[in-house]
Amino acid sequence: MSTTIPVYQPLLSDLPTITPPARRRNLIYAIAVVLLISCIGLLAYFVFVPNKMTHPAITIVNRRTGDIEVFQIFSDGCERFAGRLSTGDVVAVYASVAGGYIVRNAVDESVLLYSVGEKHPTHIEIHDGEHETNDKPLDLVASTEGPPTDVMFCNRERHDVVLSWVDFDGKAKALERIRIGRSVNISTFVNHVFTMTDAFSKKLIVQVTIHPKTKYIGTRGVEDAAETIQVSAETQTDRYVKVICQN
Protein backbone atom coordinates (compact mmCIF):
# COMPACT_ATOMS: atom_id res chain seq x y z
CA MET A 1 0.00 0.00 0.00
CA SER A 2 1.53 3.21 -1.15
CA THR A 3 1.14 6.46 0.70
CA THR A 4 0.41 9.56 -1.39
CA ILE A 5 2.26 12.59 -0.10
CA PRO A 6 0.18 15.71 -0.70
CA VAL A 7 2.01 18.49 -2.56
CA TYR A 8 1.30 22.00 -1.41
CA GLN A 9 0.21 24.20 -4.29
CA PRO A 10 0.53 27.87 -3.28
CA LEU A 11 -2.16 30.25 -4.36
CA LEU A 12 -1.26 32.93 -6.86
CA SER A 13 -1.73 35.56 -4.15
CA ASP A 14 1.00 33.91 -2.12
CA LEU A 15 3.54 34.29 -4.87
CA PRO A 16 5.83 37.33 -4.70
CA THR A 17 5.33 39.87 -7.46
CA ILE A 18 8.44 40.04 -9.56
CA THR A 19 8.72 42.91 -12.00
CA PRO A 20 10.82 42.01 -14.99
CA PRO A 21 13.84 44.30 -15.47
CA ALA A 22 12.54 45.46 -18.84
CA ARG A 23 9.20 46.55 -17.37
CA ARG A 24 10.96 48.42 -14.55
CA ARG A 25 13.11 50.28 -17.04
CA ASN A 26 10.06 51.21 -19.09
CA LEU A 27 8.37 52.61 -15.99
CA ILE A 28 11.42 54.73 -15.16
CA TYR A 29 11.59 55.98 -18.74
CA ALA A 30 7.90 56.93 -18.66
CA ILE A 31 8.32 58.91 -15.44
CA ALA A 32 11.38 60.67 -16.85
CA VAL A 33 9.51 61.62 -20.03
CA VAL A 34 6.59 63.05 -18.05
CA LEU A 35 8.93 65.12 -15.88
CA LEU A 36 10.82 66.35 -18.94
CA ILE A 37 7.63 67.42 -20.70
CA SER A 38 6.45 69.23 -17.56
CA CYS A 39 9.73 71.11 -17.27
CA ILE A 40 9.65 72.10 -20.95
CA GLY A 41 6.06 73.34 -20.61
CA LEU A 42 6.89 75.37 -17.51
CA LEU A 43 9.92 76.90 -19.19
CA ALA A 44 7.91 77.76 -22.30
CA TYR A 45 5.28 79.47 -20.14
CA PHE A 46 7.80 81.79 -18.52
CA VAL A 47 9.56 82.49 -21.82
CA PHE A 48 6.66 83.02 -24.21
CA VAL A 49 3.82 84.19 -21.94
CA PRO A 50 4.26 87.83 -20.87
CA ASN A 51 4.57 88.36 -17.16
CA LYS A 52 1.63 90.47 -16.06
CA MET A 53 3.17 91.55 -12.77
CA THR A 54 6.64 92.89 -13.55
CA HIS A 55 8.92 93.69 -16.43
CA PRO A 56 12.43 92.26 -16.77
CA ALA A 57 15.03 93.91 -14.59
CA ILE A 58 16.08 97.37 -15.78
CA THR A 59 19.80 97.88 -15.29
CA ILE A 60 20.71 101.51 -14.58
CA VAL A 61 24.38 102.56 -14.73
CA ASN A 62 25.71 105.90 -13.50
CA ARG A 63 28.21 107.34 -16.01
CA ARG A 64 27.97 110.86 -14.61
CA THR A 65 30.66 112.59 -12.61
CA GLY A 66 28.30 113.00 -9.64
CA ASP A 67 26.00 110.78 -7.62
CA ILE A 68 22.46 109.93 -8.70
CA GLU A 69 19.46 108.50 -6.85
CA VAL A 70 17.14 105.92 -8.40
CA PHE A 71 13.52 105.39 -7.34
CA GLN A 72 11.04 102.74 -8.40
CA ILE A 73 7.54 104.07 -9.14
CA PHE A 74 4.50 101.89 -8.50
CA SER A 75 1.20 102.04 -10.37
CA ASP A 76 -0.44 103.94 -7.49
CA GLY A 77 2.19 106.69 -7.67
CA CYS A 78 4.17 105.63 -4.62
CA GLU A 79 7.95 105.71 -4.84
CA ARG A 80 10.51 103.32 -3.34
CA PHE A 81 14.17 104.23 -3.04
CA ALA A 82 16.27 101.82 -5.11
CA GLY A 83 19.74 103.15 -4.43
CA ARG A 84 22.23 106.00 -4.54
CA LEU A 85 24.80 105.41 -7.24
CA SER A 86 28.27 106.88 -7.44
CA THR A 87 30.11 107.05 -10.77
CA GLY A 88 30.25 103.55 -12.27
CA ASP A 89 27.74 102.01 -9.87
CA VAL A 90 24.90 99.82 -11.15
CA VAL A 91 21.43 99.02 -9.80
CA ALA A 92 18.64 96.75 -11.07
CA VAL A 93 15.05 98.03 -10.91
CA TYR A 94 11.96 95.88 -11.45
CA ALA A 95 9.27 98.16 -12.88
CA SER A 96 5.71 96.97 -12.36
CA VAL A 97 3.06 97.28 -15.04
CA ALA A 98 1.88 100.92 -15.27
CA GLY A 99 4.80 101.79 -12.99
CA GLY A 100 8.31 102.86 -13.85
CA TYR A 101 11.38 104.57 -12.47
CA ILE A 102 12.83 108.01 -11.91
CA VAL A 103 16.48 109.07 -11.72
CA ARG A 104 17.44 112.27 -9.89
CA ASN A 105 20.61 114.23 -9.33
CA ALA A 106 21.57 113.37 -5.75
CA VAL A 107 22.72 116.95 -5.07
CA ASP A 108 19.86 119.15 -6.23
CA GLU A 109 17.19 116.43 -6.81
CA SER A 110 16.64 117.58 -10.39
CA VAL A 111 15.13 114.96 -12.67
CA LEU A 112 17.55 113.27 -15.07
CA LEU A 113 15.30 110.52 -16.39
CA TYR A 114 11.67 109.61 -15.88
CA SER A 115 9.67 106.77 -17.40
CA VAL A 116 6.24 105.36 -16.57
CA GLY A 117 4.37 102.87 -18.72
CA GLU A 118 4.48 99.34 -20.05
CA LYS A 119 7.63 99.61 -22.19
CA HIS A 120 11.06 100.19 -20.67
CA PRO A 121 14.58 99.57 -21.98
CA THR A 122 16.45 96.86 -20.12
CA HIS A 123 19.73 98.79 -19.94
CA ILE A 124 20.14 102.51 -19.24
CA GLU A 125 23.32 104.54 -18.87
CA ILE A 126 23.04 107.98 -17.30
CA HIS A 127 25.69 110.35 -18.71
CA ASP A 128 26.55 113.99 -18.18
CA GLY A 129 24.23 115.94 -20.44
CA GLU A 130 21.79 113.87 -22.46
CA HIS A 131 21.13 110.25 -21.60
CA GLU A 132 21.49 107.40 -24.07
CA THR A 133 17.93 106.13 -24.24
CA ASN A 134 14.80 107.01 -26.14
CA ASP A 135 12.98 107.99 -22.96
CA LYS A 136 12.01 111.63 -22.77
CA PRO A 137 12.83 113.49 -19.55
CA LEU A 138 9.91 114.75 -17.52
CA ASP A 139 8.45 117.78 -19.28
CA LEU A 140 7.84 120.36 -16.57
CA VAL A 141 8.65 123.85 -17.84
CA ALA A 142 9.21 126.65 -15.33
CA SER A 143 11.61 129.20 -13.90
CA THR A 144 11.99 130.34 -10.31
CA GLU A 145 11.26 128.28 -7.22
CA GLY A 146 10.15 128.77 -3.65
CA PRO A 147 11.08 126.70 -0.59
CA PRO A 148 10.05 123.02 -0.56
CA THR A 149 6.92 121.95 1.28
CA ASP A 150 4.58 118.97 1.66
CA VAL A 151 0.85 119.32 1.05
CA MET A 152 -2.00 116.83 1.46
CA PHE A 153 -4.84 116.93 -1.07
CA CYS A 154 -8.11 115.29 0.02
CA ASN A 155 -11.15 114.39 -2.06
CA ARG A 156 -14.35 115.16 -0.15
CA GLU A 157 -16.59 115.04 -3.20
CA ARG A 158 -18.99 112.22 -4.09
CA HIS A 159 -16.99 111.31 -7.17
CA ASP A 160 -13.38 110.93 -8.22
CA VAL A 161 -11.27 114.02 -8.84
CA VAL A 162 -8.09 114.59 -10.82
CA LEU A 163 -5.21 116.49 -9.21
CA SER A 164 -3.12 118.46 -11.71
CA TRP A 165 -0.05 120.68 -11.59
CA VAL A 166 -0.21 123.81 -13.74
CA ASP A 167 2.90 125.03 -15.55
CA PHE A 168 3.55 128.70 -16.28
CA ASP A 169 2.04 128.33 -19.74
CA GLY A 170 -1.26 127.49 -18.09
CA LYS A 171 -1.21 123.83 -19.11
CA ALA A 172 -2.51 121.40 -16.50
CA LYS A 173 -0.47 118.22 -16.11
CA ALA A 174 -2.46 115.45 -14.40
CA LEU A 175 -0.62 113.91 -11.45
CA GLU A 176 -3.12 111.65 -9.73
CA ARG A 177 -6.73 110.50 -9.79
CA ILE A 178 -8.00 110.67 -6.21
CA ARG A 179 -10.88 108.40 -5.32
CA ILE A 180 -13.78 109.31 -3.04
CA GLY A 181 -12.63 109.94 0.53
CA ARG A 182 -8.97 109.38 -0.34
CA SER A 183 -6.03 111.74 -0.02
CA VAL A 184 -2.61 112.06 -1.55
CA ASN A 185 0.58 113.67 -0.21
CA ILE A 186 2.54 115.88 -2.59
CA SER A 187 6.12 117.04 -2.16
CA THR A 188 6.20 120.37 -3.94
CA PHE A 189 7.38 123.98 -3.63
CA VAL A 190 5.84 127.26 -2.55
CA ASN A 191 4.14 129.16 -5.42
CA HIS A 192 3.21 126.00 -7.28
CA VAL A 193 -0.29 126.08 -8.76
CA PHE A 194 -2.59 123.05 -8.52
CA THR A 195 -6.11 122.26 -9.69
CA MET A 196 -8.62 119.59 -8.73
CA THR A 197 -11.25 118.78 -11.35
CA ASP A 198 -14.21 116.41 -11.65
CA ALA A 199 -12.83 113.20 -13.15
CA PHE A 200 -15.90 112.83 -15.37
CA SER A 201 -17.22 116.30 -16.26
CA LYS A 202 -13.76 117.98 -16.08
CA LYS A 203 -15.37 120.82 -14.10
CA LEU A 204 -12.91 122.85 -12.04
CA ILE A 205 -13.41 122.32 -8.29
CA VAL A 206 -10.27 123.78 -6.74
CA GLN A 207 -7.56 126.07 -8.08
CA VAL A 208 -4.96 127.03 -5.52
CA THR A 209 -1.48 128.49 -5.12
CA ILE A 210 0.68 126.81 -2.49
CA HIS A 211 1.68 129.22 0.29
CA PRO A 212 4.35 128.66 2.97
CA LYS A 213 1.71 127.65 5.54
CA THR A 214 -0.40 125.50 3.17
CA LYS A 215 -0.44 121.92 4.49
CA TYR A 216 -3.91 120.63 3.61
CA ILE A 217 -6.20 121.17 0.62
CA GLY A 218 -9.68 119.67 0.52
CA THR A 219 -12.23 119.88 -2.25
CA ARG A 220 -14.52 121.92 0.02
CA GLY A 221 -13.80 124.89 2.24
CA VAL A 222 -10.43 125.78 0.75
CA GLU A 223 -9.54 129.25 1.99
CA ASP A 224 -7.95 130.49 -1.22
CA ALA A 225 -9.70 128.33 -3.78
CA ALA A 226 -11.69 131.27 -5.10
CA GLU A 227 -8.73 133.54 -5.78
CA THR A 228 -7.81 134.36 -9.35
CA ILE A 229 -4.65 132.56 -10.34
CA GLN A 230 -2.35 134.42 -12.69
CA VAL A 231 -0.21 131.58 -13.95
CA SER A 232 3.15 133.00 -14.97
CA ALA A 233 6.85 132.23 -14.92
CA GLU A 234 7.15 133.99 -11.57
CA THR A 235 4.78 131.59 -9.83
CA GLN A 236 6.21 128.29 -10.94
CA THR A 237 9.36 126.23 -10.55
CA ASP A 238 11.38 123.85 -12.63
CA ARG A 239 11.42 121.18 -9.96
CA TYR A 240 9.65 117.84 -10.25
CA VAL A 241 6.40 117.39 -8.34
CA LYS A 242 6.47 113.90 -6.91
CA VAL A 243 3.68 111.84 -5.40
CA ILE A 244 5.02 110.45 -2.13
CA CYS A 245 2.22 108.06 -1.25
CA GLN A 246 -1.50 107.54 -1.50
CA ASN A 247 -3.47 106.19 1.44
- Distance of alpha carbon 149 from alpha carbon 219, whole angstroms: 20
The residue ranking higher by pLDDT, 238 or 213, is 213
Confidence of residue 5 (pLDDT cuts 50, 70, 90): low
pLDDT score of 7? 57
Residue 134 has pLDDT above 60, yes or no: no
pLDDT band for 129, please (50, 70, 90 cuts): low
pLDDT in tens, 214-227: 777 777 634 333 33
Q: How many CA atoms lie within 13 A of 228 on its CB side?
A: 1
Which amino acid is residue 46, in one-letter code?
A: F
pTM for the model stands at: 0.36
